[in-house]
Amino acid sequence: MSKMPSPCIDVCKFKRQGHCIGCSMTKSQKSLFKSLKKNSHRQAFVTMLASQQDRLGRFEHWQAAYRKKLSK
């Protein structure tokens, strides 16, 4: 099985109180995701990120963009 890709959708503009406007990750969260080796840990991170996006709001675009990235 291949490694689960990063939730980053290549926007990388940290304008929402340190959160990226594309994926909602902070710079430290991006570094943390890169250090995760097991897909189960990566999946848990993506689940946490989706909750974070719900809490912050205005990230409806992310799910479609990430599904497209997963299909490649």
Task: Please give the chain's pLDDT, 72 residues, in tens.
Answer: 578 999 999 999 999 999 999 999 999 999 999 999 999 999 999 999 999 999 999 999 999 999 999 998
pLDDT in tens, 40-60: 999 999 999 999 999 999 999
Q: What token pair was written down for 2?
A: 């291949």
Which H/E stretch holds residue 19?
strand 19-20
pTM over 0.75? The answer is yes
Cα 12 to chain centroid distance, Å, stands at 11
Task: Report yes or no: 7 and 46 within 8 Å, Cβ to Cβ.
Answer: yes
